[in-house]
Copies of this chain bind each other. A is one copy, B any other.
Amino acid sequence: MTKTALKDFEALLERHRLKKTAPRLKVLSMLAAKNVATSQPDLEGVMNDIDRVTLYRILSAFEEKGIIHKVFDLNGTANYAMCSSNCGENHHHDEHLHFNCTSCKNVYCLDDLDLHGIDLPNGFKLDGFTLYATGLCPKCSKAVSKNNSKQFN
């Protein structure tokens, strides 16, 4: 983690009136470094010095403040990823495609997707939505075809 990034994270916490603690900064740096959503168990594995409960509380605090957003993967486990800048307190705008790779299990957040023109049946009042997709991510798709051609398993 660069010094600049650390300053950024500290500023982020300040903006949301959250105290700057070591565990919170660590979670921020972990999540910001990945382009895929991460589960609490995965985070716990990487940061084995931080208590499980602390992690849960940090994640829900961040979610409430609009710093990260939650998406459930194929197994129903919560995964977390940094929000785009326009999310606010108790108000998320994560209307993007969540792509869950069936091979590596990663959940990719794919922004910049045009989801306009979706018409709901009469009476339904839309709050927010997310397109959830499954399949193979570029890396795994490559690996699979490579393995196939080499007759490996």
Q: Would you call B118 and A138 a contact (CB within 8 A)?
A: no
Which of chain B's residues has its CB closest to A126's CB?
B135
State the number of copies, please.
Answer: 2
Enumerate chain B residues within 8 angstroms of A115, measured Cβ to Cβ: 118
Report if A136-B124 is in contact (Cβ < 8 Å); known contacts: A76-B72, A131-B129.
Answer: yes
Enumerate chain B residues within 8 angstroms of A123, measured Cβ to Cβ: 137-138, 141-142
Q: Would you call B135 and A128 a contact (CB within 8 A)?
A: yes
Q: Would you call B131 and A135 a contact (CB within 8 A)?
A: no
The answer to whether the Cβ of A43 comes within 8 Å of any Cβ in the partner chain is no
A75 to chain B, nearest CB (A): 9
Q: Would you call A124 and B102 a contact (CB within 8 A)?
A: no
